[in-house]
């Protein structure tokens, strides 16, 4: 079964540095998402992306965050100047159409020092 | 605002016994409801969904869930639990926007 793949599995970054988390969604999917899960807390929506633009974003997704689909396969989340509270597990997801279930990757654990 | 509640942090059940993991929701309009499972150091794996149609939905690994509109519930069930079912289970709701809203998760422990 096709999978959503995320790299790296673990990223350690100094506070204030930029970080880019990478995702390869399932190839025929059109809708892309980022979620995060702070340790011990629930999974929270960050942003959805369709047709090369953001379709919805949460209040967490402030000016420090951006997403991009630089080519036909990758979907990236950039955090410009990381803060300690950005430490979390970040999940990428994709779906074929927007009323089907979303397929999740295994996540990138981001640790900010 | 849309929300999902999973009232139990943990559910313990003996192998071979039936299990229920509870979920209630609040959403305007017709709900799209989902169950996902998370194993350690893994992402969320889709189990089943309710979009429309029959209130009893069957999913992966022998799980099923019953949509109850009057009680705004979508409890996850399995007739006979396995030790390998031990994991973290998330209920989620989606209305007419893209995003999934997750509950806080319920840890299922199945004892041999």
Give me the residues paired with residue A4 across strands.
none
A28-45 confidence digits (pLDDT tens): 899 999 999 998 888 999
Calculate the alpha carbon distances from B101 to A43, B17, B66, B110 in Å. Answer: 8, 30, 19, 26
Write the pLDDT tens digit of every residue in A54-90: 999 999 999 999 999 988 789 999 999 999 999 999 9
Q: Please give, rounded to a whole number of angstroms, the shortest distance from the CA of B103 to a CA of chain A.
A: 7
pLDDT by residue (tens digit) across B36-84?
A: 999 988 889 999 999 888 899 999 999 999 999 999 999 999 999 999 9
Q: Which of A41, A102, A105 sits opposite B100 (nearest CB)?
A: A102
Q: Are the CB atoms for B75 and B88 separated by under 8 Å?
A: no
Report the gap between the CA of A72 and the closest CA in chain B (Å): 21
Contacts of B34 in chain A (CB under 8 A): 101
């Amino acid at each position: 079964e096709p999978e959503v793949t995320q790299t790296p599995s673990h990223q350690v970054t100094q506070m204030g540095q930029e970080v880019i988390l990478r995702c390869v969604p399932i190839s025929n999917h059109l809708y892309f998402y980022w979620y995060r899960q702070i340790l011990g807390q629930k999974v929270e929506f960050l942003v959805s992306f369709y047709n090369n633009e953001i379709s919805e974003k949460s209040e967490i997704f402030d000016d420090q965050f951006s997403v991009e689909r630089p080519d036909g396969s990758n979907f990236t989340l950039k955090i410009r100047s990381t803060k300690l509270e950005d430490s979390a597990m970040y999940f990428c997801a994709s779906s074929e159409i927007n009323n089907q279930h979303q397929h999740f990757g295994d996540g990138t654990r981001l640790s900010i020092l | 605002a849309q929300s999902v509640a999973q009232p139990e942090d943990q559910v313990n059940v003996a192998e071979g016994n039936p299990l229920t993991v509870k979920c209630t929701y609040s959403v305007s309009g017709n709900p799209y409801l989902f169950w996902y499972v998370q194993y350690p150091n893994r992402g969320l794996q889709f189990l089943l969904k309710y979009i429309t149609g029959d209130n009893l939905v069957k999913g992966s690994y022998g799980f099923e869930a019953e949509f109850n509109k009057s009680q705004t519930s979508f409890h996850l069930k399995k007739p006979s639990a396995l030790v390998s079912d031990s994991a973290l289970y998330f209920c989620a709701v989606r209305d007419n926007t893209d995003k999934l809203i997750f509950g806080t998760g319920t840890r299922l422990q199945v004892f041999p």
